[in-house]
Structures are given as C-alpha cells and as structure tokens.
Amino acid sequence: MKVTFRIWRQNDTKDKGRFQDYETDGLNEDMSFLEALDHLNEQLVLKGEDVIAFEYDCREGICGQCGVFIDGRAHGPHRNMTTCQLHMRSFNEGDIIAVEPWRATSFPVLKDLIVDRSAMDRIIEQGGYISAKTGTAPESNAILVGKEVADKAMDAAACIGCGACVATCKNASAALFTAAKINHLNVLPQGKPEAYRRVLGMSEQMVLEGFGNCSLTGACEVECPEAISISNIAEMNSWYLKAKLFG
C-alpha cells in the first residue's frame, strides 16, 4: 500500500510551520495509523532526515495522548475513535492524507504534531479531585450509590482528556472536558461537599487558560472518542449558577 502523508512540520512554538509531503510505500491495511507513522519515521532515519514528532502512550484507546487532526477531522474519519485505534484500511491506495496537530491558542505546538495540553491539567488542579482524607480504602458498600447515579458518574468519568473537543470546536472551548470532570464528581456523595467550590474553580480556570465559550454546536460530542454527551455542559452550567447564588 502506498500513500502520501501531508504532515505539519513545526520546530517549536515560535516557528511558523508548514506542510510537507512524504510518499510512503510498504504499508498494509492491517497497520494502525501510528504504526504507519512509525514506518515513515524509520524511512526518514535511514535517509538521515529529521523524524516526525508525534505523541502516544498506551496505543489502546485509553490515554488520549495520540490525538491529531487527520484529513480535517479529530482522530480521523470515524466517530468515537482515538487515532491509535484507526487503521490504514480506512484509506485507499494513493490517498493523500493530511495530518496536523490540534489547533487552539491554549494548545501551543511544541514540535510537529505534539501540542502542550497542560492547560487541561491546570483546570483539574482547581477541583478535579476529592480532598477528604479517608485513610485506607473504605469498604465498597460503605457509601451506597444508586445505579442511576453510578452510571451517570461513570459516563462522565469516561473522558480521557485527549483534547479533541477543544480542537474541533470553532471557539476552542474546553466546556465538554471541564463539564465531564466536574459532573462525574459532583453527582457522587463523596464529591458533594466541594461541589460548588469545584465548579467555580474549574470553570474560572478554563476561562483564564484562554479557552473559548461554548455555543453548543455539538461538534465536540461527535468527535469525542468516548461519546461524552453535551448534556454534561448544560448540567455544568446549572451547577455554576447554583454555586454563584448559594455557594
């Protein structure tokens, strides 16, 4: 299988950057997309050229580190899938495949396809945790949680923090990410005592980091690998209003 990768090359945050084409042969349809990039990098090493910098960790659709734009879509042509889960059978012989990093002011490009997503970490630092000291692990049935609440919390907790929601949003909003991290704790009994402080702290940090406002177009939900519902954003807004009134 032979394709042409049109890849964004950028040395650092100050570099203007540009697309560069790489005609790549010797691929097969069972290769994952990242394996295809590995193959390309091996060819570049043999030629003595600078390899393409891209990020990954688990390669199992769990960590969210691998996110890039592929042919204008976050993580590639399929819904609810990470880049590492994408395979070359999704493309055709002779295709020109454009690959570029997340595009958002809050995600500065470090090199090539790698962006700095530490802004999301700083949002988490403002309340994406439970600070109550519980000592050793409690008995699992000590605090009873109904199935409806547990399912709701788990659906929100599925967010892997890849940043696709930010990159695909026309406003570069982090509302879906922030809402998921707020809601999965706020609905649980363990998270209730800090709920108001959590929603205020994380929401305000999101603004400080330069993320845009949410206009509920739904693009984030479509591109989210875990299909996090935008109803989480509405719930976050409700929590924020209550926190402002009663917090």
pLDDT tens for each residue of 162-174: 999 999 999 999 9
CATH assignment at residue 42: 3.10.20.30
The per-residue pLDDT for 75 is 97
Q: By the 8 A CB rule, do 118 and 171 touch?
A: no
Q: By the 8 A CB rule, do 131 and 101 touch?
A: no
Tokens of 27: 């691929």
Q: Which residues of the chain have pLDDT under 50?
A: none
| Whether pTM exceeds 0.85 | yes
Backbone angles phi, psi at 222, to 5 degrees: -65, -40
Label the pairing between strands 109-111 and 114-115. Answer: antiparallel
- pLDDT for 119-158, tens place per residue? 999 999 999 998 877 678 777 777 788 999 999 999 999 9
The per-residue pLDDT for 247 is 74
Query: Smallest Cα–Cα separation from 117: which of 72, 73, 57?
Result: 57
The per-residue pLDDT for 117 is 96
Q: Which residue range forms the structural domain that includes residue 32? A: 3-111
111, 132, 147: which is the final residue of a domain?
111
How many structural domains are present in the chain?
Answer: 2
Specify the DSSP class assigned to residue 76. S
The per-residue pLDDT for 136 is 80
The per-residue pLDDT for 242 is 95
